[in-house]
Structure 1
Amino acid sequence: MTIPRALLVLALLSSVGIAMVLVRAETAKAAHRVQRLHKRQTALRHELWGLEMQLARLRAPQRIAERAAELGLGVQPPVVDGPPRRAAPPRLAPAPRPQGE
C-alpha cells in the first residue's frame, strides 16, 4: 500500500469516526429533548385534569344555586302552564289592486 493510499484510508476512517460521534451527540440531544417534552406533557395533563375537575365542581347544580343565592338571584322552578304553544303563521298582506279597477 502506498503512502497516499494509506493517508486516504486514514482520512476516510477518521471522517467516519467523527461522523459517528456527531450522530451520537445529536441522538443524545434528541433523547434529552424528548424526555423534557414528555415531562412537560405530563405536567400539562395534570393541570388539565385539575381544571376539568374545577369546572365540573363549578357546573354542579348545587354550586350554581349557591352562587345565585350569593348574588341575590332567586332560583325559581320552571312554570308549566300547559303544552307549548305554536306561533301563528305569518299573515301575508293582500296583493295591491291595479289602478284601473
Structure 2
Amino acid sequence: MRNHNITNEYIKKYMLSKNNNRKVGGLVLDMVIRWNSSYLLLDRLDKHKDVVHSICAFPNSIIGLTDQQIKRSKELILNEHEWELICCLKNVLEPFFNATEALS
C-alpha cells in the first residue's frame, strides 16, 4: 500500500495521537541505491511497531480500504520472532549508518 493516502493519513493521525500532537518521523521506504535507507526503514518500523501492528491486525478500522487491501493487511502481520529479526538487523546496520553519517 505504498503511497496510499488512506493508510498514510491513518498513520499520521495515529502517530500524532500517540505523541501528544508532536510531529514525529513517519515510516520510510527502502531505496535500492541508498543502503542507509534500509537502516532507516528498520529503525522507523521498530519505533512505530504499534501503528504497524494496528494497521495489520485491525485494518477494518481504517475507513476506505477495499476488501482486497484489508485481506492483504491481515496477511502482513508480523509475529514476535519477525520483530526480533527487525531489531537484530537494525542493530547490525546501525554502526554502518553512524559511520556514513560521520563521514558525510
**Same topology, TM > 0.5:** no
TM-score, L = length of structure 1 = 0.23
With normalisation by structure 2, the TM-score equals 0.23
